[in-house]
Structure 1
Amino acid sequence: MTDVATARRSRITPEREAELYGAVLDLLREVGYDALTMDAVAARTRSSKATLYRQWGGKPELVVRAMRHTKPGAVGEIDTGSLRGDLHALVSREDDCVMEQNSALMRGLAMAMHTNPDLRQVFREQLIEPEMAEFGRVLQRAVDRGEVRPDCPALDFVVHMMVGGFATRALIEDQPPTRAFLTSYIDAVVLPALGAPTH
């Protein structure tokens, strides 16, 4: 399936692909997932709808690929030599403005996933599961270094804690997530829960 999708996408240049993804994200911000149509993407990008379907298969795949395209690299490649350094590096990859934009997008997509099982499935397969596997590499290195006990019960909930800190700040404080907030949250909540060094 992935090989077929890759073969389909390879007909579009990386520059054109980036342009399409940017337009998809702009439309998502403007109208939300439910109101976003392949017709609107085709008009915005001066593409044919047939080309979009041939390359991506449908709206869920196109939207999730656009979200993936904005990610600044594999989480598992972060290796500063300490878990605290790795988690701080993770939240430092995007500036506060980008983080605020992504937070708003994710809130909208989270709502859409409740009523669109096809979007939820593609999102899980192409974003959540790969990200969790990458994050697992970061945590395993911390265990291997002796920073975290291998039987620490909080290990299974680190992703939940990180997503919680990112997603709930707007809900609780009516503020977007920022680097300063997330690094403080990591030091005050995530690392202590893991029994890992906080300095």
Structure 2
Amino acid sequence: MTSTSSRSKITPEREMEFYVAALDLLREGGYEALTMEGIAARTKCGKSTLYRQWHSKPQLVCAALRGTRCVTLAEIDTGTLAGDLRAVARATSANARRDTPLTHALVHAAKQNPELAKALRENLIEPEVAEIDAMVRRAVDRGEVAAGNPAIEFVAVQLFGVMRAALLLHGSHADEAYMTRFVEAAVLPALGVTATPSGP
């Protein structure tokens, strides 16, 4: 992870320029063709600037994916598990059309690139799994979900799995309506949570 002090010399606007350039180049040529030199050329900066801030291509790619999302899961806390998971459905589907093909490509590339695989786990997968787990723990603390419910272990797996599976099985991205139906029909019932469809 990059320290706050090492990133302090770059404005948020400039940081976003780097993120957008990295993702655009990733879409255009794939992960193997993406280079720090290419990002530097597109953003008219020195390559050393990128290495100083992110240290490696995998770290920059992961930062770009996370940094361009409109809502992070850590920001979600509606006061109920149903509300939280519906908000997760909105957040994860918001950029599905843009992010899902990239994620598929990166997962494939990670099979041949241990450094990329490690960066994806540490910077994207593990933080978001932890954020969903925290939502479920709050629900247990509130008494919404029984502490021993065996479905607790699989909430994050279900949510992230359906995002990838929808494109493969249906040929379309998991949009907000699809994700919300999934949460209401599969995830909440397994946790023993009764909620009015699309309600609070």
Q: How far apart, in 1, do the equivalents of 2:72 and 2:143 lie?
A: 23
Residue deviations 1:55-110, cap 9 Å, x none? 211101111111110233442432222211111112223665x2211111111111
Structure 2: state its 5+ residue gaps: none
Q: How far apart, in 1, do the equivalents of 2:74 and 2:46 lie?
A: 37
Residue deviations 1:149-183, cap 9 Å, x none? 10111111111000111110010111111001000
126, 150, 154: which one aligns with 1:153: 150
Check whether the contact 1:83–1:138 (CA below 8 A) recurs between aligned residues: yes
Q: How far apart, in 2, do the equivalents of 1:79 and 1:99 lie?
A: 22
Alignment of structure 1 residues 79-98 onto 2, 5 Å: 79-93=77-91, 96=94, 98=95
Alignment of structure 1 residues 4-23 onto 2, 5 Å: 6-23=4-21
Report whether the alignment pairs 1:133 with 2:130.
Answer: yes
**1:104 counterpart residue number:** 101
Percentage of pairs with the same residue: 47
Local SS of the residue matching 1:71: coil
Q: How far apart, in 2, do the equivalents of 1:93 and 1:74 lie?
A: 7
Residue deviations 1:89-137, cap 9 Å, x none? 12223665x2211111111111111111101111111222222222122
**1:68 counterpart residue number:** 66
**1:121 counterpart residue number:** 118
Q: How far apart, in 1, do the equivalents of 2:65 and 2:80 lie?
A: 28
Q: CA deviation at 1:192?
A: 1.5
**1:163 counterpart residue number:** 160
Check whether the contact 1:75–1:138 (CA below 8 A) recurs between aligned residues: no
Q: Which amino acid aligns with 2:32?
A: D
For this pair of structures, how many residues does the alignment match?
Answer: 196
Q: TM-score, normalised by structure 2?
A: 0.91
Structure 1: state its 5+ residue gaps: none
Local SS of the residue matching 1:115: coil
Check whether the contact 2:2–2:53 (CA below 8 A) recurs between aligned residues: no
Check whether the contact 2:58–2:116 (CA below 8 A) recurs between aligned residues: yes
More helix by share: 1
Q: Which amino acid aligns with 1:89?
A: A
Q: TM-score, normalised by structure 1?
A: 0.91
How much is the aligned-residue C-alpha RMSD, in angstroms?
1.6
Alignment of structure 1 residues 170-185 onto 2, 5 Å: 170-185=167-182
Q: How far apart, in 2, do the equivalents of 1:42 and 1:141 lie?
A: 43
Report whether the alignment pairs 1:43 with 2:41.
Answer: yes
Local SS of the residue matching 1:53: helix
